[in-house]
């Protein structure tokens, strides 16, 4: 099949995070299965670019922020939308990694105008909102995009419920994230690095990570704490907190990390901590599992039940004290780390293989392509 993936933003520093990495992984897996895959996205480029990676084609288009907007919601990429309107006649099905933004929403409109069957995957980025602009956008474009999709691919029951609140007529279907088991796994005990790797956004709670480092000052005196990821509003507060807690010699902020370097950074860490709240299916947790690094996270994540079922991570209540206690347990008891890594390995093998995900996607694409032109 000729499959088109549409993503909001692609950059060398991986700033868009999980949705970009999920799209890349899906495109690669589908290409390995013989499909002709193209991925289009906005990007920090002055002119359109095209290249081939891992067996599929990537087309990037200039994007910019509208007005003084921050974050990805204010991004626009008119040239990408125009490209979709003009050049997509040879596409059998589109897979839109949909967000409430001005890149993928116009793209979904263009896909419907070209009468191309499509599925959407929101990655937890679309939920009910009381904001006036969001409600207007939802009425005009988000809800029709969800309603007219052959499938809305959701990660958890919680996300399915959130989508139903936005558009009750959306045809939701569960498809998990997956990962390819190719990364070199760490061997034996590592140093004493405790890692936060995520966007510096309030939902990710980087300040809770820094506060946790302060709590562990006495019990883990040799530990070093790394805050890695692009700023999305929290960097200044994180820096101030590090200074106010006198943690400058123990907590380092290293900024964005290239996607090609994330496995190395995770592999070198003694433990990976993700203090996020209300996230659906964080890919960094799967990546930590894949390289054999123990994970500490919170019970509000959509992945928490699976982690508990397989013993794949220490799932805390999200409090600073709970996070600190879990990190201390992993660092001081290697048998705990070994047990977590074994559970994570089993979870990836049994439930989160990218090849199994690609097979599910193939089935849904065929259903979409067999239908008549989009309603």
Residues 116 and 167 in one domain: yes
Same domain as 63, residue 132: yes
Which position has the higher pLDDT, 19 or 52? 52
Which pLDDT does position 374 carry in this prediction?
44
pLDDT at 373 over 70: no
Phi, psi of 182 (to 5 degrees): -120, -15
d(CA 167, CA 139): 9
- Which position has the higher pLDDT, 195 or 138? 195
Give the dihedral sign, CA 59/60/66/68.
positive
The CA-atom distances, in angstroms, between 272 and each of 125, 248, 250, 267 are 23, 20, 16, 9
Residue 170 belongs to what domain range? 2-178+354-370
Question: What is the C-alpha to C-alpha distance for residues 324 and 327, in angstroms, rounded to an integer?
Answer: 5
Chain-centroid distance of CA 67 in Å reads: 26
pLDDT at 70 over 90: no
Q: For residues 4 and 137, what is the distance between their CA atoms, to the nearest angstrom?
A: 24
- Closest C-alpha to 193, from 116, 250, 136, 254: 250
Residue 23's pLDDT is what? Answer: 95
Q: Which range (67-76, 105-114, 209-218) has the least confidence? A: 67-76
Does residue 93 sit in the same domain as residue 68? yes
Q: Is the pLDDT of residue 161 over 80?
A: yes
The 8-class DSSP code of residue 40 comes to E
CATH number at residue 343: 3.40.50.2000
State mean pLDDT over 331-336: 94
Angle CA 220–223–228, to nearest 5 = 135
256 and 167 together in one domain: no
H or E segment and range at residue 9: strand 2-9
Is the pLDDT reported for residue 74 higher than 50? yes
> What mean pLDDT comes out for the span 166-187?
84
C-alpha–C-alpha distance, residues 223 and 168, integer Å? 49
Q: What is the pLDDT of residue 46?
A: 95
Under 8 Å between Cβ of 16 and 8: yes
Residue 54 counted as domain residue? yes
Q: Is residue 185 part of a domain?
A: no
CA distance 274 to 206: 9
Higher pLDDT, 180 or 271: 271
Split into its structural domains, the chain has a count of: 2
- Rounded mean pLDDT, 340-368: 94
d(CA 201, CA 276): 9
Is the confidence at residue 119, as pLDDT, over 70? yes
Closest by CA position to 232, among listed 4, 35, 21, 74:
74
**Does a structural domain hold residue 65?**
yes
Q: What is the pLDDT of residues 241-287, one digit of tens each?
A: 999 999 999 999 999 998 889 999 999 999 999 999 988 888 899 99
Q: How far apart are CA 75 and CA 307, in angstroms?
A: 34
Q: Is residue 371 pLDDT above 50, yes or no?
A: yes
User: 229 with 291, same domain?
Assistant: yes
Residue predicted with more confidence, 308 or 15: 308
Residue 184 included in any domain: no
For the chain, percent of residues with pLDDT exceeding 70: 95
How much is the pLDDT for 375? Answer: 44
Q: How far apart are CA 66 and CA 87, in angstroms?
A: 25
Do 135 and 214 share a domain, yes or no?
no
The model's pTM is 0.85
Across the chain, which distance is largest between two alpha carbons, in Å?
Answer: 65
Percentage of the residues of the chain whose pLDDT score is greater than 90: 74
341 and 226 share one domain: yes
Measure the CA–CA gap between 326 and 39, rounded to whole angstroms.
39
The DSSP line for 227-293 is EES-BSS-HHHHHHHHHHTT-TTTEEEEE---HHHHHHHHHH-SEEE---SS-S--HHHHHHHHHT-
pLDDT digits (tens, 9 = 90+) for 280-307: 888 899 999 999 999 999 998 988 999 9
Q: Are residues 206 and 233 in the same domain?
A: yes
Residues 157 and 216 in one domain: no
* Spatial separation of the C-alpha atoms in residues 214 and 67, rounded to whole Å: 39
Average predicted confidence (pLDDT) for the chain: 91
* Predicted pLDDT at 14: 82
Question: What was the pLDDT predicted at 134?
Answer: 86
pLDDT surpasses 80 at 87: no
- Asked whether the beta carbons of 209 and 227 are under 8 A apart, the reply is yes
- 186 domain residue, yes or no: no
Q: What is the DSSP letter of 67?
A: T
């Amino acid at each position: 099949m000729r499959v088109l993936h549409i993503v909001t933003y692609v950059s060398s520093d991986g700033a868009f995070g999980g949705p970009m990495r999920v799209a890349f992984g899906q495109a690669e897996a589908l290409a390995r299965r013989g499909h002709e895959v193209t991925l289009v996205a906005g990007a920090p480029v002055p002119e359109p670019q095209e290249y081939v990676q891992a067996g599929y084609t990537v087309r990037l288009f200039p994007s910019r922020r509208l007005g003084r907007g921050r974050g990805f919601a204010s991004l626009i990429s008119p040239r990408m939308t125009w490209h979709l309107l003009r050049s997509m006649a040879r596409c059998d099905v589109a897979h839109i990694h949909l967000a409430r933004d001005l890149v993928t929403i116009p793209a979904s409109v263009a896909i419907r105008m070209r009468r191309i069957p499509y599925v959407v995957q929101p990655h937890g980025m679309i939920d009910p909102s009381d904001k006036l602009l969001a409600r207007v956008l939802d009425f005009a474009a988000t809800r029709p995009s969800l309603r007219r999709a052959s499938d809305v691919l959701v990660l958890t029951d919680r996300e399915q419920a959130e989508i139903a609140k936005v558009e009750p007529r959306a045809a939701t279907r569960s498809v998990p994230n997956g990962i390819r088991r190719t990364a070199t796994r760490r061997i034996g005990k590592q140093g004493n690095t405790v890692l936060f790797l995520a966007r510096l956004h309030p939902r990710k709670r980087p300040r809770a990570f820094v506060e946790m480092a302060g709590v562990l000052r006495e019990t883990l005196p040799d530990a070093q704490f790394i805050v890695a990821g692009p700023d999305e509003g929290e960097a200044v507060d994180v820096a101030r907190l590090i200074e106010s807690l006198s943690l400058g010699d123990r907590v380092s902020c290293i900024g964005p990390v290239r996607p090609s370097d994330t496995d190395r950074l995770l592999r070198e860490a003694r433990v990976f901590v993700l203090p996020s709240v209300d996230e659906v299916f964080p890919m960094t947790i799967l990546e930590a599992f894949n390289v054999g690094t123990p994970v500490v996270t919170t019970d509000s994540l959509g992945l928490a039940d699976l982690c508990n079922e397989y013993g794949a991570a220490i799932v805390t209540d999200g409090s600073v004290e709970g996070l600190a206690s879990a990190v201390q347990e992993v660092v001081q008891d290697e048998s705990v780390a070994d047990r977590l890594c074994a559970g994570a390995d089993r979870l990836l093998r049994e439930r989160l293989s990218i090849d199994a995900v690609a097979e599910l996607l193939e089935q849904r694409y065929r259903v979409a392509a067999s239908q008549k032109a989009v309603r």
